[in-house]
Amino acid sequence: MPDEPIIDCHVHPDPVDLPEGLIREANRLGVTQLIVASLGRSWDYEPSHEHCVRGNRDTLALVDRYGGMVLGWAYVNPRFEDEAEAEVRWCVEEAGFVGIKLWVSALASESCVGRMIDLSVELRVPVLMHAWHKATGNLPLESTPQMLAGLAQAKPRARIIMAHVGGDWQLGSRAAEGSPLLVDTSGSIVENGMIEETVARLGAHRVLFGSDAAGVDLATALAKITAAEIPHEARRRILYDNVVELLSWRRQAA
Amino acid sequence: MRLDVCAWCGTWPFHGVPHSDVDGLLHLMDRAAIDGALVAPLDAVFDRDCRGPNARLARALATRGDRMAFCAMANPRYPGWQETVRIADEDWGAVAVRVIPTYHGYRTDDQSLVELAEVLAERQLPLIVTTRLLDERSHPPAFRVPPAAMEGVNALRARVPRVTLVVSWARVAEIAALDDNVAVDLSGVQGPGGFLESLLEPPGQRRVLLGTGAVLQVPECGLAKLGYHSLSRRQASDVAWGWARELFPRWGPSAG
């Protein structure tokens, strides 16, 4: 494993706590920080605002419990526009969360999502947003990589991270090519060539390490990056530097 | 020692795969410190008549016997499959025979698969049933192939108990649906964290083998699963090579 710090930008509790096994694995593998988003205590694609708030309080408890090892994403359903904005402001300004997590409750092309992106620019925090292009069919409000690319082009000052390289990573990285989208490598897809090709298309400065633990095995997700045939400097960026740069955006403002 | 029971070489028609030939696989094995691999021809997935792809791969592996063992492909719904199996066994020294039912258009409860299993039991060749090769969400739109059903595998196990049966590239939920006496490889399981620990519970009940899915998948991702903090050394070595050596007795030098 790399003898340098590693930040995993895409982690979920299960569903309230981080499994002890995940913390031990992070320590074993040298993953020094986990950025965690609770999606709530139950599986809900179109959650109530209260569901999201409860999840964020669970995330805050993890941030408090694990000190600097755990950072938090503020998870909201952007359809509850005013409440979602107030929750994001509280999470970032009062609780020290590092960004906004959006999942599958609104399409990237909707104005309510645009409002969250504008808020992220005002607060100078990144947005981690799910995207997938599924041959099996997307959920009704599950954004595609093309939608996220369009959003990123419309909001060029925002720092939007497309999760899972869009799931179908070839399509996702191609969609991201002409936009300012960043991508994370999270998820269960471990195809040979995924990281090398994504870096070749987007540049290492736009690729971030994410695992999607606890649903995905942390060691497996990390091995995608450590085994990739890319220069050391690129690996360094993916595993650490890019996230640090993203998080410094808000600190620079302060 | 590390023995990969799920490795492939050949052409993948839907997108470029780095290191997809025999030399490429060897490079991946060296990179990942894998001692031996049981290798099947990818071309046979898309050629209903597996005989030609088998022969091409067997020839290519002829000088690699120290690191790679030949795993023939068979399609029991295609005419002449018995001769294909005979050639693979007697001429090419196959260590096992792999099938991929849904790519070749039959179900795991198909009578032809029972007949193949009986032939393999007679020849003392293990049968590997491939569940998938690609996440269903990532299939090309005009080429969507469902995973193989585990119910049929359980029925096959019951009908041909003499054959050594390994299920390959299944997910955790699919493995949970399998009878305990069906062995599995790890190529299709990427989570959740701690899954291998749960698959090995209770100890000794399920035979779980290292399978990486190379060249389609990153082999190091397969190996990473073996490092899980709470596995005992015995458990890790059984998965890494112990079960492979027991279930594939014809595997040569690399299985030491």
Residue B73, Cβ density class (10 Å: 0-12 exposed, 13-18 middle, ≥19 buried): buried
Query: B114 vs chain A: nearest CA distance in angstroms?
Result: 31
Does the model's pTM come out above 0.80? Answer: yes
Distance of alpha carbon B160 from alpha carbon A169, whole angstroms: 41
Residue A232: strand, helix, or coil? helix
Predicted ipTM of the assembly? 0.95
**Domain boundary assignment for chain A:** 6-253
**How confident is the model over B131-148, as a mean pLDDT?**
95
Chain B interface residues (partner A, CB cutoff 8 A): 15-19, 28, 31-32, 135-141, 144, 190-195, 197, 213-225, 227-230
> Strand pairing partners for B9?
B41
Mean pLDDT of chain B: 95
Query: A30 vs chain B: nearest CA distance in angstroms?
Result: 13
Among chain A residues, CA nearest to B139: A135
The one-letter code for the residue type at A4 is E
Give the model confidence (pLDDT) of B147-171 as tens digits.
Answer: 999 999 999 999 999 999 999 999 9
Among chain A residues, CA nearest to B195: A217
| Residue A2 confidence (pLDDT) | 57
**Nearest CB to A190; choose among B28, B32, B190:** B190
Is the pLDDT assigned to residue A119 strictly greater than 90?
yes
Is the pLDDT assigned to residue B198 strictly greater than 50?
yes
> Strand pairing partners for A99?
A73
Q: In what order do the strands lie in the sheet with B68-73?
A: B3-9, B36-41, B68-73, B96-99, B127-130, B165-168, B183-185, B208-209
Query: B177 vs chain A: nearest CA distance in angstroms?
Result: 19
Query: A94 vs chain B: nearest CA distance in angstroms?
Result: 32
CB of A139 within 8 Å of a chain B CB? The answer is no
Q: Look at domain A6-253 and name its CATH class.
A: alpha beta
Provide DSSP, A162-202: EGGGGSSHHHHHHHHHTS--EEE--SS--BTTHHHHHHHHH
Give the model confidence (pLDDT) of A148-206 as tens digits.
Answer: 999 999 999 999 999 999 999 999 999 999 999 999 999 999 999 999 999 999 999 99
Give the model confidence (pLDDT) of B62-113 as tens digits.
Answer: 999 889 999 999 999 999 999 999 999 999 999 999 999 999 999 999 999 9
Which pLDDT band holds residue B193 (cuts at 50, 70, 90)? confident
| Residue B256 confidence (pLDDT) | 47
Looking at chain A, how many residues does it have? 254
- CB crowding A109-131: b at 16 or more within 10 Å, else e: ebebbbebbebbeebbbbbbbbb
Q: Which domains does chain B have, with CATH numbers?
A: 3-255 (3.20.20.140)
| Residue A4 confidence (pLDDT) | 87
Distance of alpha carbon A129 from alpha carbon A142, whole angstroms: 10
In the numeric block, which tokens belong to residue A1?
């494993």
Is the pLDDT assigned to residue B255 strictly greater than 60?
no
In the numeric block, which tokens belong to residue B127?
């049968």
Give the count of Cβ contacts less than 8 A between chain A and B.
114
Query: Which residue shows structure tokens 């091995």?
Result: A223
Give the model confidence (pLDDT) of A51-109 as tens digits.
Answer: 999 999 999 999 999 999 999 999 999 999 999 999 999 999 999 999 999 999 999 99
The one-letter code for the residue type at A47 is P
CB distance B138–A223 less than 8 Å?
no
